[in-house]
Structures are given as C-alpha cells and as structure tokens.
C-alpha cells in the first residue's frame, strides 16, 4: 500500500512564475476535449476502480480539467484544488481520508455536496521538471488502504503519458509553426525572386538546378521545369557551352563563387549576352546546402561598352586635341594627339593640369571673359586662340571648340573641347597670301604696261589721245574691279565701310561705259553692303559683265543691261536683265569656272540663290539673298 502524504514536501527547483509561464506555453488550457486524454483517464478509472478521474492543470487562480470522469465541473477555483497540494509533493500524493487531512478537511468539495473522501494524484511534469497539474482519482468513500503498488505505478505512468502528450502537442505545434514559417518563407522567396529584374535560380549542393523564377521563363520562353537538372546548358550559345560547364564544375568542386559572361538564347531565338553569378549557401559547419544564382541580361550594356570602346578609339586615334574637364576646370582626360600637341608626357601629367594652363597668358582673359560665358549662354563656342606648349613655352595657333557635358538629368558635369592645330593651315594661308600678292602685283604690272603702251601711242599720235584717255580710264576701272574680285586675306580686303550696293556697282562697272554712256542702268532700291558681301557681289557682277561683253547684251553697240534692286521685307532681290544683244538660243551646254565660282559664292557667302532665265530677248539673272547677310 502507498503511504499517506500528510504535509508539503521540499520545494523543487522552480518558481511559480516559471511554472505558470510553461503551463501557458503549452496552449492546452481551455482547449476542446481530446480522445487521447479521455482514453488515459478511462484506464485510470478501471485500474484504480475510481468513480472520479481528472486530468487537472493548475493555473494561477483556478484548476482546469483537460479530461474528466464522474465530475460535472470543468474547473474549480484554485483555493479548492487538492492538486495544488499534489504539485508541491510528488511524484504521487495519496490522501486516504480527506476529512482527516488538515489541508483538505475544510475544503468545500469535501464537506459540501460533492462529498469527496479519497484522493490520489500523480504529478504531471514538463520536460524541465516543472509541475503542471496531476492525473488524479477520487472517491466518495475513504480508502484507508490507499492504492496498491500496481495502481500507484499505473497512475504515475499515466501522468507521464499525459506529459508526453503535452510535449508531443507542443512539438507538433513547433513543427507546424516551422512548416508554416517555411511555407511563408518559400512564398516570400518566390514573390521576392519574381519581383527581381534578374533571372534567379537555385541548385542542390551537387549543382542540380531545381528552381527558376518567372523572369527565367519569360526570357527563355521554355516550358516550366524543362531546364531543371542540366537542361539549362542547351540554352547557351554553342560556342559558350563548354566554357560555362567548365566554370560551373570548378565552382562545384571548390565552393568558389561562380561568375561568367555568356550568350543565352532569348525567346525570340536570338542570343543575348548575360552575366551569370552564383554563390554557395553554407550551414553553420560550413557545408554547402544550396547554390543561389542569378542571370542578368547585359546585352544593352555590352552594346554600350562596344560603342564606348569605338568612341574611345576614335578619340584616341583622332589627330585633333580632344579633352574633358570637370565643371571646376580640372582636366579629366586629354587624348594622345592632344598630349603630343602641348608636350604632356602622359595621361597622369594631363590630369594634374587645369584648363587655363593650356593657353598663352594673353588668351586666358578671353577664356574667362568671352569663352566660358558664351558656353554657359549658348552651349557652344568656337574661335581661334593660342595654346601654350608645356615644354618649350611656344604659342600654338588652334581652332578651339568647347561645349558643356551634362548628365542624363541635364545637370552640368564638365566641359569637352575638340581643338585643331592651325599651324599648318596658317602656314598654307601665308603661302597662299604671298602667292596672291605676287599674282596681284604681276597683274597690276600688266595693267601698268598696257597703260604705258597706250600713253606712248598717245604721245606718238596726237589724234589718238581722246581714244587713249578713254581707254586708260576703262583700264583703271578694270584694275579696280580686279582688286575687288581677287582673293583677299583679312589684311588685304578693300575697305567698303559706308558703301552701298549701287555705289559698289558703279565703281566696278565703270569700265563698261561707252562714249560717256552708261550701258548698265541701276534702278530700284539701293542697300548697304559690308566687307564679306562686297567681295562676293563683285565676283558675281564682274563675271556677268564679262560674259555680257563676250556673248550677251554688251557685245553689240545697241545692247544694254538693266540692274534692278528690290527690297522685299527680309529679302533683297537683284535682277540683271540684258537686251539688244545677239538672239539667245537657250541655256549654254557647259558652265565656265567663273560661273561655278559665282554660284558657290552666292550659296556659301551670302546664303542666297542664283537663277538664270535664258529667254530669246536676253539673259535674265535673279540673285535673292537675306537682306541682313548683305551687311556682313
């Protein structure tokens, strides 16, 4: 027989707060009936021949029954709980007669209508040893003999089974929670990978591909699951497959990260350059559990890089100076031709310079006061300046072009310049000007010789003096016209300040007067002309007059020309109309050099148009130009 326990035992190694926390952590309180627990109390009822059997869990202010037989209340206040005494004794508390035990003698369940007399309870303990309640049997009659050994061991075994059920339930909940977490994590992983712009894939430790996100299937267009395992390699360009396999096998063997560029077949059938990367996911002990990889479409980047390489090659092989500086004027890059031009040893030497270092001192104020303000205002400036050679200090004549460099938002990030060495051109211009001066000098000498011969004729034959005088006057007019139409430099160009178009024409066409009669009549609207326009107009009209003297309206005694100017808003029209000359059969079959040169002068220097009408009465030429260009 089991002895009566009549007083509290020694305190266990736990606190009430710890015990209550673990009890509530079981999430068993107030749960629905469970057949597994019901079966256990039926066993206890049979083995112990007890009319009342309870699985009692002792809470802070109550005891709640997970399973019960022979007792109608689902719970009682803790103050009435006999099990509350049991959890402080154990593993088994047996009270043969509740009316004689000082702990229970006045209990309402004993002295009241329930009339309880016998109690035996085996303590239910958590894995850490904290008592949660008991499996107890009760009777309404005292049992002085208590429990037999079999009954006591059975009751203790049933208490352990209840503890096991509680632990299993908790374990199942933990597993379920983990499975739910894993499922949620899997969902989050899929949502995250499907939201990524890259193609995402994973493999087992041996490299077997078992997951691809939606981007992979959208890019490749292959059926879902068709590239699991090793099927992915068939999508690579044939020239890249072995290289990709070799790199992947090396990563699998060494655990090193995988990175490679290859061409991947797009759903359109074309191959696009792709960057493949993968890294191993390791366990706490360093074992590779999975591989996580991505594929990034870099086709556009590859093309941009190729274009950048081509552009860099153009810049580096250009014979012009090409440089880039930041917005503060610090040099970022000067190409090889630029470094040779100014005597810089290498790119590092260029990066130690600022923009103003490249100019002769007399040009630096132009850079600050003219060039940069124009670039900020107009986004461009071009003009002739003088660079400085960093080694010799000599000046280098250049055509300097500069423009701003902006980022994709339009913010200024620096300046770029394309600068051409003008030294060869300057030397060629000097040689040309020298040749032009020599040619002009010789032509003037010819005019002087002819005039001298005419003067000699006048002295030898007094009767010829009137003719010679008229001839010398016409010869002087032709010499002056020649001075306008010959090529000029800026220094040799004739001054025409305050000159009008009609005034210029009278000066140039004076040679074509006959017997004091103006054969070229000027009519209509006059207009002011500038230096550049005067040269072009002189060339055009001299050519027209020369052709008219040879073939047209001035080639006969009765022929004449009407030169009419008309101002039409922003446009000026000059009409050359011949009359009285030989009949015109039609346009000439070929154009002479002078005519071609005149047409190019109209288009290139005056931005105008030149039209010819070869009608039977005589040639009509129309010159139309913007009025503003004549003042240039």
> Which residue's entry shows tokens 């020599």?
438
Helical H segments across 318-371, by residue range: 336-342, 347-351, 361-366
Average pLDDT over residues 515-544: 79
Closest to 381 measured CA to CA, from 368, 397, 390 = 368
175, 30 contact by CB (below 8 A): no
pTM value surpassing 0.85:
no
pLDDT digits (tens, 9 = 90+) for 267-312: 999 999 999 999 999 999 999 999 999 999 999 988 888 887 887 7
The predicted structure's pLDDT at residue 458: 59
**Least reliable range by pLDDT among 45-54, 195-204, 319-328, 443-452:** 443-452
pLDDT-derived band at 3 (thresholds 50, 70, 90) equals very low
Q: How, if at all, do strands 131-139 and 118-125 pair?
A: antiparallel
The predicted structure's pLDDT at residue 506: 82
Backbone angles phi and psi of 381, in degrees to 5? -155, 145
Q: Strand pairing partners for 609?
A: 624
Closest to 122 measured CA to CA, from 162, 161, 85, 155 = 155
Calpha distance 59→81 (Å, rounded) = 10
The predicted structure's pLDDT at residue 444: 59
Classified as helix, coil or strand, 544 is: helix
The predicted structure's pLDDT at residue 493: 54
pLDDT digits (tens, 9 = 90+) for 99-131: 999 999 999 999 999 999 999 999 999 988 999
128, 166 contact by CB (below 8 A): no
The predicted structure's pLDDT at residue 436: 57
pLDDT digits (tens, 9 = 90+) for 226-259: 889 888 888 999 999 999 999 999 999 999 999 9
pLDDT over 80 (residue 33): yes
The predicted structure's pLDDT at residue 540: 80
Beta-carbon contacts of 9 under 8 Å, excluding residues fewer than 6 positions away, are 88, 89, 90
| Portion of the chain with pLDDT greater than 90, in percent | 52
The predicted structure's pLDDT at residue 480: 61
* Residue burial 247-279, b: 16+ Cβ < 10 Å; e: rest: bbeebbeeeeebebebbbbbeeeebbbbbbebb
11 vs 515, residue with greater confidence: 515
Closest to 276 measured CA to CA, from 232, 337, 224 = 232
> Which residue's entry shows tokens 């395992």?
229
388 vs 499, residue with greater confidence: 388
Largest CA distance in the chain: 183
Judge if the upstream peptide bond of residue 91 is cis by omega within 30 degrees of 0.
yes
The predicted structure's pLDDT at residue 358: 95
Calpha distance 60→416 (Å, rounded) = 82
Q: How many helices (H) and strands (E) are present in the chain, helices listed first?
A: 18, 21
47 vs 185, residue with greater confidence: 47
The predicted structure's pLDDT at residue 528: 85
Calpha distance 43→54 (Å, rounded) = 12
Q: How far is CA 338 from CA 233, 426, 535, in A?
A: 49, 19, 37
Mean pLDDT in the chain? 84
């Amino acid at each position: 027989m089991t002895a009566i326990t009549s007083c509290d035992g020694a305190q266990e190694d736990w606190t009430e707060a710890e015990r209550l926390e673990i009890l509530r952590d079981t999430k068993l309180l107030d749960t629905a009936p469970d057949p597994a627990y019901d079966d256990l109390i039926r066993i206890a009822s049979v083995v112990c021949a007890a009319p009342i059997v309870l699985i009692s869990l002792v809470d802070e202010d109550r005891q709640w029954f997970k399973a019960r037989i022979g007792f109608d209340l689902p719970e009682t206040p803790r103050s009435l709980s006999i099990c509350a005494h049991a959890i402080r004794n154990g593993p088994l508390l047996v009270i043969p007669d509740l009316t004689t035990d000082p702990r229970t003698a006045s209990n309402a369940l004993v002295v009241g209508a329930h009339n309880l007399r016998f109690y035996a309870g085996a303590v239910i303990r958590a894995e850490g040893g904290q008592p949660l309640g008991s499996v107890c049997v009760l009777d309404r009659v005292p049992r002085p003999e208590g429990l037999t050994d079999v009954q006591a061991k059975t009751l203790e075994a049933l208490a352990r089974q209840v503890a096991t059920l509680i632990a299993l339930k908790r374990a199942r909940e933990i597993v379920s929670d983990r499975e739910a977490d894993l499922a949620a994590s899997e969902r989050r992983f899929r949502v995250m990978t499907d939201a990524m712009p890259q193609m995402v894939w994973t493999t087992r430790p041996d490299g077997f591909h078992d997951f691809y996100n939606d981007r992979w299937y959208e890019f490749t267009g292959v059926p879902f699951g068709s590239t699991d395992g090793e099927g992915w390699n068939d999508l690579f360009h044939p020239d890249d497959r072995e290289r990709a396999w070799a790199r992947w096998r090396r990563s699998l063997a060494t655990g090193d990260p995988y990175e490679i560029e290859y061409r991947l077949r797009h759903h359109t059938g074309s191959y696009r350059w792709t960057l493949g990367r993968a890294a191993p996911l390791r366990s706490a002990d360093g074992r590779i559990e999975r591989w996580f990889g991505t594929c990034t479409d870099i086709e556009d980047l590859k093309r941009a890089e190729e274009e950048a390489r081509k552009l860099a090659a153009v810049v580096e092989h250009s014979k012009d100076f090409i440089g880039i500086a930041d917005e503060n004027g610090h040099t970022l890059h000067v190409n090889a031709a630029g470094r040779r031009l100014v005597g810089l040893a290498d790119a590092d030497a260029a990066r130690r310079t600022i923009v103003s270092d490249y100019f002769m001192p007399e040009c630096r104020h132009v850079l600050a006061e003219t060039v940069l303000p124009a670039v900020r205002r107009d986004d461009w400036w071009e003009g002739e300046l003088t660079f400085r050679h960093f080694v010799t200090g000599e000046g280098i004549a250049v055509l300097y072009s500069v423009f701003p460099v902006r980022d994709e938002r339009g913010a200024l990030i620096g300046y770029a310049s394309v600068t051409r060495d003008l030294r060869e051109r300057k030397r060629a211009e000097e040689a040309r000007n020298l040749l032009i001066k020599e040619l002009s000098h010789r032509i003037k000498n010819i005019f002087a010789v002819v005039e001298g011969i005419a003067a000699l004729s006048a002295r030898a034959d007094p009767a010829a003096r009137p003719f010679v005088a008229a001839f010398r006057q016409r010869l002087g007019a032709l010499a002056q016209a020649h001075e306008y139409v010959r090529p000029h430099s800026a220094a040799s160009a004739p001054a025409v300040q305050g000159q009008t178009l009609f005034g210029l024409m009278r000066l140039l066409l004076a040679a074509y007067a006959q017997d004091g009669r103006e054969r070229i009549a000027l009519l209509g609207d006059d207009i002011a002309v500038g230096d550049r326009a005067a040269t072009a107009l002189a060339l055009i009209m001299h050519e027209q007059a020369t052709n008219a003297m040879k073939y047209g309206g001035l080639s006969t005694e009765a022929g004449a020309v009407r030169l009419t100017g008309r101002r039409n808003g922003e446009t000026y029209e000059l009409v050359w109309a011949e009359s009285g000359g030989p009949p015109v059969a039609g346009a000439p079959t070929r154009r002479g050099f002078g005519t071609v040169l005149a047409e190019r002068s109209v288009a290139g220097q005056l931005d105008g148009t030149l039209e010819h009408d070869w009608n039977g009465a005589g040639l009509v030429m129309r010159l139309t130009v913007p009025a503003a260009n004549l003042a240039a």
